[in-house]
Structure 1
Amino acid sequence: MMWWAGLLLAAMPLRAEPAFYADLAIGLGVQTIDSDTGGEDEDRAALTDVLKAGGGVQLTSFFSVGAALWMYGQGASGDDDVAQFDGVSAGVEATAYLPLNYLFGSAEGPVVGPYVRYAHHCWAATVVGITRPWDDDGCSPLVAAGFSFKAQRRASLYAEYSRTEFDEITSGSIVAGLKTRF
């Protein structure tokens, strides 16, 4: 069965030349604090706003590479007893697509279909509102899966779930974004 997938990918046309892109996304994230970091009776999850800005090169119809900046944070909250996560990360990413528009004969415009992304990002983050406030930096992998929809001739909308680790904190995010070629 896997040979069918290989045959389909091999039959797809490759882009004549790479296409540069920019993307911007916004969404929500949930950061879960390891039990060793927070106290016994405290809330161990923080809900954050997520903003992603990035760019890169679509090398073929099924592969792109790029760089992105992720920002995690919350608006001003007056409740000091609630875990609050703030962080920023920057990294490089590689994305593999299953370009449905190419499979069904429409090679025009942006890639449409499901994709998976692997990134390696370096970050700095802080958690307050817990018994032992946490502050750290480091580097870790970020994995994501999503679906891209055609919006215009040079732009697509996408929905994505991503997951990463900030040492003692696990982060899951759902974002919606716009990716445009130029």
Structure 2
Amino acid sequence: MMLRDVFCWTLLCCVSLSSWGDRSDLLMAGQDMQLDAPWYTVSAIQLGLHSLDTDNEEVDLTSVGEGVYFAIGRPVLPIMSLEVGVDFWFNDEEDEDPVDHAVLHDFHFAGISVGTNAIFHFPGGEGPYAKVGRHCWSASAYDAWNVWNGNGCSNLFGGGLFFGEGKGFFLEATRTRYKRVHSWFLSAGIKF
């Protein structure tokens, strides 16, 4: 189910790009770039802040966690690239003392997602960019007992700064929702 949704989302992005009709100047530039543009890979580390919806509005459950992101992508237009990537989120509890746990976590969050992203940037890629995507995921929030677990697909929105032309490093902030868990991620990574 999850891979089928990712494939459908990727196909939808490609079909919508090809159905611009009389915008052939943009399509031709994109097709020329697509033939010459090299594939790239992305690796990033993430710091996540998660908030869990509860039935009691007076209680806020939050957590801080870590994650990694890996993707492959390719420019399809001078101002747009498409990526297919995977996220892994985890909590490293082994080195954590009880005081840190009480300050940083009301619950733990772990999961995996696979998805596609469209990155809108200046020609050449350097500078600010916007990112939108669709990810299918499986995740759980837990503490001494299982608080919530689920799977589904969610939209992702964000933006960042890219330093370098073609290859370089980036800083990024993204936001998404996993049914009952709202997540914000700060990422630092490299594109090569």
The two structures share one fold, judged by TM-score above 0.5: yes
Normalising by structure 2, we get a TM-score of: 0.72
Q: Describe how 1:81-96 pairs up with structure 2 within 5 A.
A: 82-96=106-120
Cα distance in 2 for partners of 1:155, 1:127 equals 36
**2:124 matched to 1:124?**
no
Q: 1:73-103 CA distances to partner (integer Å, 9 max, x unpaired)? A: 110257587411111111011111024xx5x
1:141 matched residue in structure 2: 155
Helix, strand or coil: the match of 1:75? coil
**2:51 matched to 1:32?**
yes
**2:185 matched to 1:173?**
yes
**Residue 133 of structure 1, CA deviation:** 1.2
Counterpart residue identity of residue 172, structure 2: E
**Residue 168 of structure 1, CA deviation:** 0.7
Matched pairs, number: 155
The one of 72, 76, 87 aligned to 1:70: 87
Relative to its length, the structure with more helix (as a share) is 2
Contact 1:17/1:59 (8 A) holds in 2: no
Q: 1:42-87 CA distances to partner (integer Å, 9 max, x unpaired)? A: x611101021000111123311011010111110257587411111
Cα distance in 2 for partners of 1:141, 1:166 equals 9
Counterpart residue identity of residue 23, structure 1: V
**Residue 19 of structure 1, CA deviation:** 2.1
Q: CA RMSD in A?
A: 2.5
Relative to its length, the structure with more strand (as a share) is 1
Percent of aligned positions with the same letter in both sequences? 25
Change (3 A) 1:175 1:95: same
**Residue 175 of structure 1, CA deviation:** 0.3
**2:139 matched to 1:115?**
no
Contact 1:163/1:172 (8 A) holds in 2: yes
**2:73 matched to 1:56?**
yes
**Residue 39 of structure 1, CA deviation:** 9.4
Superposition misfits of 4+ residues, deviation over 6 angstroms: none
Counterpart residue identity of residue 91, structure 1: G
1:107 matched residue in structure 2: none
Alignment gaps of 5+ in structure 2 = 1-25
